[in-house]
Amino acid sequence: MTVASSSEFVSLESIRAAAADLVGVAVRTPLLPVDPLSDQLGTLVFVKPESLQRVGAFKLRGAYTLVRRLVREGATGVITYSSGNHGQAVAYVAKRLGLRAVIVMPETVPEAKRKGVERLGGEVVIAGRTSADRYNRAKELAEQQGLAMAPPFDHESIIAGQGTVGLEIVEDCPEVGTVCVPVGGGGLSSGVATAVKSLVPTAQVITVEPEGAAKFYTSRQKGERVVLERTASIADGLITLSVGVLNYRHLVRYTDRSVLVSDAAMREAVRFALDRLKLVVEPSGAATLAWLMAQRMGALTGPVVAVLSGGNIEWEGLTDLLGGAS
């Protein structure tokens, strides 16, 4: 496998520059202790709840970093393709900066995420079920309407913006031993891994994916970036067919291990977060927590930090997921 040269990687300096730009825009989410898991694993365990971020997910960080750059380059309107959270983030940023935003979403988009885009002033266009369907429609509309493309993960500005999550983890827990981060297209995971490994080379970075969407897990096994034929999971934010090209390079270089979790485990993690942590987390956001809940005493070097990537699930979605209200 050919590894990209250092010039092809997002630098720690770029992540720090993104962090400076995000002051007053992104919420600096805390590290919250998880005492039951600390007892279970025999080391301190924290979660970083990006579910508390503006628009309910980490995506704001990368979206702002990229869209601000596009504005500097002359953009007056933006378009993206998204299963939900990135779309909401782009809509929010566009509204904040006075831009038009068009968001291409799948037929299967959860109602909460579609309505979230609309509340923020984004124009929703529905296109197919796969990321390829959404991308092709967005590309067509961008050309027709003169809109700047704001991709959800495969872009250096996205990686730099999402990397601010990792920067904050190390600033708040300099002795961090293990960081667990979910993988969809790879924007968050590649950014977090880059920041953490650049600052604490001894830390272990573990990527977590659904069993039904094991694109990076499979890529790591085969030694090359793969595109899956299909994916399926309740974690709608993690079911891309592949990680991005740039994201793959970062993940290969900066992560140590890839693991999978079942839908049943993520469902239980959503319940655990609600019952024990008093946090509303969507299945995609609960993937890391789901994996940690299955680990044993001494399995990981601590302190351990799990990134909870988002919380864009509302009452009906929660009751459907957890078996109805009681």
Q: Which helix (H) or strand (E) holds 125?
A: strand 123-126
Catalytic residue among 189, 198, 233, 309: 309
Q: Any idea which residue has 């967005």 for tokens?
A: 138
Residue 256 to residues 7, 110, 132, 136, 307, Cα–Cα distance (Å): 21, 33, 29, 33, 16
* Contact in structure between 36 and 184 (CB atoms under 8 Å): no
Report d(CA 230, CA 214) in Å as an integer.
Answer: 10
Report d(CA 281, CA 289) in Å as an integer.
Answer: 10
Residue 320: Cβ within 10 Å count: 11
Catalytic residue among 59, 113, 197, 215: 59
Helices 315-322, 111-119: crossing angle, 10 deg rounding: 170
* Contact in structure between 193 and 183 (CB atoms under 8 Å): no
Q: Any idea which residue has 């092809």 for tokens?
A: 8
Report d(CA 217, CA 105) in Å as an integer.
Answer: 26
Answer yes or no: 59 catalytic: yes
Reading the block at residue 270, the tokens are 């959503």
* Sheet containing 148-149, strands listed edge to edge, beginning at the edge strand earlier in sequence: 123-126, 100-105, 77-81, 148-149
Answer yes or no: 309 catalytic: yes
Report d(CA 116, CA 15) in Å as an integer.
Answer: 28
Q: Is the peptide bond before 303 cis (omega within 30 degrees of 0)?
A: yes
Half-sphere exposure of residue 25: CA atoms within 13 angstroms, side-chain side: 25
Q: Which helix (H) or strand (E) holds 123?
A: strand 123-126
Q: Which helix (H) or strand (E) holds 49?
A: strand 45-49
Residues 6+ apart with CB under 8 A from 314: 112
Residues classed as catalytic: 59, 309
